[in-house]
A and B are shown apart, each in its own frame.
Chain A
Amino acid sequence: AQTVTQSQPEMSVQEAETVTLSCTYDTSENNYYLFWYKQPPSRQMILVIRQEAYKQQNATENRFSVNFQKAAKSFSLKISDSQLGDTAMYFCAFMNPPNFGNEKLTFGTGTRLTIIP
């Protein structure tokens, strides 16, 4: 079974700084998908970024980017120019490819990120 590990339960950084959240996963599949979701205190689950494992290029969405290291099974999230609104729980998630027959998300335990004014 796939597993996702987030080794940083909590992090805090000053506003405008850059922060990196780590995530590792375990799978025997070659093609799969990885996601970062953000859960602010409002408890909504908001998609931050998506990465396809067969793409070498790291995904980027504005201030959010990933460092995807397939061989190391590592998928870290970098937040640049952090803002107060980035304060939230961040979950890393793994999804099997469609031909696996099950597209459920397997989540890590989350990292609670606090941006300090």
Chain B
Amino acid sequence: DAGVIQSPRHEVTEMGQEVTLRCKPISGHNSLFWYRQTMMRGLELLIYFNNNVPIDDSGMPEDRFSAKMPNASFSTLKIQPSEPRDSAVYFCASTTGGGQPQHFGDGTRLSIL
């Protein structure tokens, strides 16, 4: 079975540009999470969807960040405009819930110059 699929794997762009990260969760999983990993802050939740509905977006840094889940098989995380401090690895994870483990994608390494 395919795991969580994220794209792109790497993204390098200039400050001020719009960045869109994509995620396809595992089929049948009804919860999807976006995490960010940095040296300074470690792994932190950005937003959590359950059945395509945002449940917890308290980790979204500011209005420059937005996330959508238009259907059960696709989610996007958008940064507009991007800033150098947004440079990080962004992970998407999915699970069936009920205390089951979250399965992670390979992450997107984002570099904002």
Contact = CB atoms under 8 A, between A and B. Distances in A.
Interface in A89-117: 91, 95, 97-98, 101-110
Given A43-B89, A45-B93, A47-B101, 9 more contacts: A35-B101, A44-B104, A45-B107, A97-B99, A102-B56, A103-B31, A107-B43, A108-B42, A110-B42
Contacts of A46: 104
Contacts of A105: 33, 35, 43, 45, 93, 102
Contacts of A98: 97-99
Interface residues on B, range: 20 to 34
A64 interface: no
A107 B102 CA distance: 13
B55 interface: yes
8 contacts: A42-B106, A45-B93, A47-B103, A98-B98, A101-B55, A102-B55, A103-B48, A105-B102
Interface string B79-107: 00000000001010101011101111011
Interface of B: 31, 33, 35, 42-45, 48, 55-56, 89, 91, 93, 95, 97-99, 101-104, 106-107, 109
Interface of A: 33, 35, 37, 42-47, 50, 52, 91, 95, 97-98, 101-110
Contact of A43 (B33, B101, B106): B106
A98 B55 CA distance: 13
A110 B39 CA distance: 11
Between B35, B48, B56, B102, the greatest number of chain A beta carbons within 10 A of the residue's beta carbon is seen for B102
Contacts of B45: 104-106
Contacts of B95: 103
A69 to B, nearest CB: 20
B22 to A, nearest CB: 17
